[in-house]
Every structure is written in structure tokens, then in C-alpha cells.
Amino acid sequence: MSRRSKVPEKRAKLSDKEMRDMAKKKSGVRDARIISPSDVETATWVRLKCQFGCDCYGQCLVCPPFTPSPEQMRKVLDAYRRAILIHCDPEADVKAIVADLERNIFLRGAWKALGLGAGPCYFCKECNIEEEQCRYPEKARPAMEACGIDVFSTVKNLGFPIEVVRTRRQCPNYYGLILVD
């Protein structure tokens, strides 16, 4: 509400095209699509892959067991009607892109904007687990997989490229997700 008048200010809703354009202008973004959060797959086995396959498990506040369970994440996803899925270059800093885009979307009036990145967090040499207080909350975002999102099935079902990386020479595909409203 404006101080001069008691009439609430109307803010134009951020369109799908505006969000896609915002994302595609970011360095390191290959593609971006508006999706329904109902198209995001969650599965209980995904966090087991973190627990038994990633040496960051329990070592970082944006990794399990400190992140939402797949069941909690499903409830969060179901509370949104739009999201933007971002396909990034292999060398791109997905977490930084997601955090920056999340902030831009939030500042455009989408107060529920919430970003999820890919992979473990590398902002600190050693995470502040004992105090349970992230040193970089404005930048650190949990990975989709850390929250039980089956990234492989989700992106494949939406027509994005993804495959199992079998060698170090093979170029991986990285994704970020921002829940919007």
C-alpha cells in the first residue's frame, strides 16, 4: 500500500516469457522452461544415493540429512503452481545462477520464489554444521537431489537432455529449479 493512498499498489505478474528471458540472459544458461511443479518427480531412493555415494552426506547444511525429505519436498512442490527449470553449461555455477535468478524473481513480486541447485555446496572450506548456521544463506541452496527430487526422470520426461556420465571426458548436464508461485 502506498503511504499517500490507502489503495493497494498493483504489481504486474511476472509472465512466463519474462522469466524465461531473465534466465536465458544469465551467463552459463543453455535453456530455461516454465514447468508445472507437479511434473517434478520425487522418490525416497534419491537421498539414499546421497547417503551411499556422495562424500558430502552429513558434511554440509544444504545436503542430507539437513534438507527436506522427499515427502516434505513433495508437499512444498504441491504448494506451487509454476516453476522454471534451468539447463546450465557444465562449467556454470548452477547454485549462483539459481540464487541470483531466485532473487530477481522475488524482487519482481514473486515472494514465494525458492531456488534449488545441483550438487554439493562449495562456498565454505568447512561447513558450519556444529552451529547449524550457514555462513552464506543468501547464496547457498540445496541441490534438487538432496531434497529427494529425481532430477534424471524429471528432466528426461520434460524433454531435456540427460544421460549417465560414464567417463570423465563425457560432458554432464546440470540443472537448477526455481519454484515461483
Whether residue 6 has pLDDT greater than 80: no
Predicted local distance difference test score (pLDDT) of residue 24: 96
> Distance between CA atoms of 71 and 147, rounded to whole angstroms?
9
Whether residue 175 has pLDDT greater than 60: yes
Percentages helix, strand, coil for the chain, rounded to the nearest 5?
30, 15, 55
Predicted local distance difference test score (pLDDT) of residue 13: 85
Predicted local distance difference test score (pLDDT) of residue 10: 53
> What average pLDDT does the structure give for the chain?
91
More confident residue, 43 or 132: 43
Q: What order do you get walking across the sheet with 29-35 strand by strand?
A: 29-35, 83-88, 174-179, 114-116
pLDDT by residue (tens digit) across 36-64? Answer: 999 999 999 999 998 998 888 999 999 99
In this prediction, residues 95-118 reach a mean pLDDT of 95
Q: Please give the distance of CA 41 from its chain centroid, rounded to a whole number.
A: 14
Q: What is the sign, positive or negative, of the torsion defined by CA atoms of 92, 105, 175, 135? A: positive
pLDDT by residue (tens digit) across 137-151? Answer: 999 999 999 999 999
- Residue among 110, 114, 111, 82 at smallest CA distance from 98: 114
146 burial (CB, 10 Å; 0-12 / 13-18 / 19+) is: buried
Q: Which residues contact 75 (CB under 8 A, 6 or more apart)?
A: none
Predicted local distance difference test score (pLDDT) of residue 122: 85
What the block records as the C-alpha cell of 118 is 545441483
- Helices and strands (H, E) in the chain, number of each type: 5, 4
What the block records as the C-alpha cell of 42 is 520425487
More confident residue, 165 or 108: 108
Whether residue 123 has pLDDT greater than 70: yes
> Distance between CA atoms of 65 and 67, rounded to whole angstroms?
6
